[in-house]
């Protein structure tokens, strides 16, 4: 028994184990001659490029740094014959922009049009103490080293490997390396216009966020939960605390806030792949909250019933249907006001869900097949609960099939010990390059 396959009726996802044959269900000979040898001989150069880009600060707000990293990728893509450039976003989006590259392929090409994505920004802004590449044996640490500079370097290296063995001939490929994945610009429609454009023009999207190795076996990502936000605001009647719970003065804003949050948990928690978190709360008789800095101040006396309370949190779901249903349930709970209170909840859209689809599993099977042909074993389907939201979700609704997790293996993302396994680059580059070659030279299970 191997990869867990997600099946869902409506939005409720369940895990069903399926058997994956040890033999590929696809024709052999999809790996270009000389590909593995080229990758093995060029690993030191891959690591050197990784060190170079990690040592350039490219926190999302550091537009100059994001652009500097992007220019490196633009140059190397252009050297392979891609039409590569830096593309700016609209000024009101307030983000650096993205790397955009295309390869038209040849007339009459029979392969699929492939869209490759990664991101070059990090959560580590200028001045962060965690700011340099370091290495101890096969483990390297640095800001964004696996999320997602390592993935972007691996994407580029897979293409350079194919280019070296003439494996890009005839291929139709679009590439987008975003400069704001860690904090997507607003309005989202403008910030992700290139993502949607690339998806609509392609058949398959591959994302190079970090790969997973569990119990020694590699896993790909066929689904990722979406992430959105909510703000709950409660008003109560200010009065002497000795009269709380009375018919005249009610329960107060803080008690009502607590009631709502408890009922979120009591009535909604436990559904497959659903989580909702309360990130901050303030309450009292004088309350201020700044949604930009996500910080607040409050004042209240123990002998006064609080008249205002605010909570903010996130919501993660596996599908748009699940998101809509859970939001409806939360709104219903909010509307059951206790005496002398009123409450409102506002929802903020963020990353949509990359829902599990049969086409994603089929794409994973192709990835697993080329991995086996390379002698690297099969690749399973990762539990979506182990991943956060990602850029690929903006593309997945506009394209036939999507697969994530093609980047190198590592961990402690967003933290001061973020690391990558340097030994994972060679096998992951080989897998990615072989998959890209297969996709761009065949129409499907042939």
- The answer to whether residue 4 scores a pLDDT higher than 70 is no
Residue 27: predicted pLDDT? 53
**HEC string of 424-444?**
HHHHHHHHHHHHHHHHHHCCC
End-to-end Cα separation, the chain, in angstroms: 25
> Averaged over 286-311, what is the pLDDT?
95
Instruction: List strand residue ranges (DSSP E) for 285-405, in order.
Output: 286-290, 295-299, 308-317, 341-351, 380-381, 401-403
Q: Please tell me the distance from the alpha carbon of residue 232 to that of residue 377, in angstroms, as a whole number.
A: 48
Q: Please tell me the distance from the alpha carbon of residue 305 to that of residue 80, in angstroms, as a whole number.
A: 68
How buried is 346 (Cβ within 10 angstroms: 0-12 exposed, 13-18 middle, 19+ buried)? exposed
> Distance of alpha carbon 377 from its chain centroid, rounded?
25
Q: pLDDT class for 294, splitting at 50, 70, 90?
A: confident
For the segment 27-79, what is each residue's pLDDT rounded down to a tens digit? 555 789 999 999 999 999 999 999 999 999 999 999 999 999 999 999 999 99
For the segment 341-350, what is each residue's pLDDT rounded down to a tens digit? 999 999 999 9
Q: pLDDT class for 107, splitting at 50, 70, 90?
A: low
Write the CATH number of the domain with boundaries 4-224+354-441. Answer: 3.40.630.10
- The answer to whether residue 3 scores a pLDDT higher than 70 is no
Q: pLDDT class for 21, splitting at 50, 70, 90?
A: very low
Helix 63-79 to helix 149-164 angle (10° resolution) is 10
- The answer to whether residue 170 scores a pLDDT higher than 50 is yes
Q: Please tell me the distance from the alpha carbon of residue 359 to that of residue 428, in angstroms, as a whole number.
A: 22
For the segment 237-250, what is each residue's pLDDT rounded down to a tens digit? 999 999 999 999 99
Q: Please tell me the distance from the alpha carbon of residue 384 to that of residue 273, in angstroms, as a whole number.
A: 7
Q: pLDDT class for 6, splitting at 50, 70, 90?
A: low
> Averaged over 160-176, what is the pLDDT?
96
- The answer to whether residue 18 scores a pLDDT higher than 90 is no
CB-CB contact of 19 with 1 (8 Å): yes
Domain boundaries in the chain? 4-224+354-441, 227-351
Write the CATH number of the domain with boundaries 227-351. Answer: 3.30.70.360
pLDDT above 70 covers a percentage of the chain that reads 92
Mean pLDDT of the chain: 92
For the segment 75-106, what is each residue's pLDDT rounded down to a tens digit? 999 999 999 999 999 999 999 999 999 998 77
- The answer to whether residue 5 scores a pLDDT higher than 70 is no
């Amino acid at each position: 028994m191997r990869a867990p396959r997600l099946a869902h009726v409506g939005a409720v996802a369940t895990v069903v184990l399926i058997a994956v044959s040890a033999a590929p269900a696809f024709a052999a000979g999809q790996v270009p001659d000389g590909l593995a040898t080229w990758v093995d001989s060029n690993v030191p150069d891959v690591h050197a490029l990784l060190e170079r880009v990690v040592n350039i600060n490219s926190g999302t707000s550091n537009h100059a740094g994001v652009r500097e990293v992007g220019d490196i990728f633009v140059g190397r893509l252009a050297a392979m014959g891609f039409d590569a450039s830096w593309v700016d976003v609209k000024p009101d989006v307030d983000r650096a922009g993205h790397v955009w590259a295309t390869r038209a392929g040849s007339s009459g090409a029979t392969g699929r049009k492939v869209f490759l994505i990664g991101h070059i920004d990090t959560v580590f802004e200028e001045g962060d103490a965690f700011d340099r590449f370091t290495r101890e044996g096969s483990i390297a640490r640095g800001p964004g080293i696996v999320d997602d500079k390592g993935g972007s370097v691996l994407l580029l290296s897979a293409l350079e490997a194919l280019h070296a063995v003439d494996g890009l001939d005839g291929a139709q490929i679009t590439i987008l390396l975003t400069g704001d994945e860690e904090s997507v610009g607003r309005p989202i429609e403008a910030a992700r216009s290139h993502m949607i454009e690339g998806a609509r023009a392609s058949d398959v999207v591959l994302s190079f966020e970090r790969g997973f190795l569990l119990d020694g076996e590699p896993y790909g990502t066929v689904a990722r939960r979406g992430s959105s936000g909510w703000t709950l605001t409660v008003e109560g009647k200010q009065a002497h605390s000795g009269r709380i719970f009375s018919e005249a003065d009610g329960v107060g804003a803080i008690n009502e806030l607590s009631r709502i949050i408890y009922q979120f948990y009591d009535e909604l928690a436990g559904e497959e792949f659903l989580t909702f978190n309360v990130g901050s709360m303030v309450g009292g008789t004088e309350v201020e909250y700044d949604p930009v800095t996500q910080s607040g101040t409050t004042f209240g006396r123990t002998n006064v019933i609080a008249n205002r309370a605010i909570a903010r949190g996130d919501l993660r779901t596996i599908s748009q249907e699940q998101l809509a249903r859970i939001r409806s349930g939360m709104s219903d709970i909010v509307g059951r006001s206790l005496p002398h209170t009123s409450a409102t909840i506002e929802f903020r859209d963020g990353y949509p869900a990359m829902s599990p689809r049969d086409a994603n599993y089929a794409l994973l099977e192709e990835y697993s097949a080329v991995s086996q042909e390379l002698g690297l074993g099969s690749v399973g389907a990762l539990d979506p609960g182990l991943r956060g939201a990602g850029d690929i979700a903006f593309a997945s609704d506009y394209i036939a099939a999507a697969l994530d997790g093609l980047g190198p293996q590592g961990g402690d993302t967003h933290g001061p010990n973020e690391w990558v396994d340097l030994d994972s680059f060679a096998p992951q580059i080989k897998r990615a390059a072989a998959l890209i070659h297969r996709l761009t030279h065949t129409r499907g299970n042939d």
